Amino acid sequence: MGKPENIEEFNLHKVDDIDVYVKSDVVAKDDELKIKYTKILWKERLTVEGILF
């Protein structure tokens, strides 16, 4: 995935050895986001939970 092109619009969070870029205007429920990875056959997916709209 890599770094976003407009990096000034994101906050960087380091989780273990993983860099996570979150848009600075994202509001998280209980100040927590959960990122889940799933793989079924050849399809991979990241799902983010906890974003308030």
Residue 20 domain-assigned (yes or no): no
Residue 2 domain-assigned (yes or no): no
Residue 12 domain-assigned (yes or no): no
Q: Give residue-wise pLDDT tens across range 1-53.
A: 789 999 999 999 999 999 999 999 999 999 999 999 999 999 999 999 999 98
pTM, whole model, 2 decimals?
0.77
- Name the domain count of the chain: 1
pLDDT, position 1 = 73
pLDDT, position 32 = 96
Residue 10 domain-assigned (yes or no): no
Residue 50 domain-assigned (yes or no): yes
Domain region containing 45: 25-53
Tell me the three state secondary structure of residue 46. Answer: strand
pLDDT, position 41 = 97
pLDDT, position 18 = 92
Partners of 7 in the β-ladder: none
pLDDT, position 53 = 86
User: Which of 37, 5, 43 lies closest to 21, judged by CA?
Assistant: 5
Residue 14 domain-assigned (yes or no): no
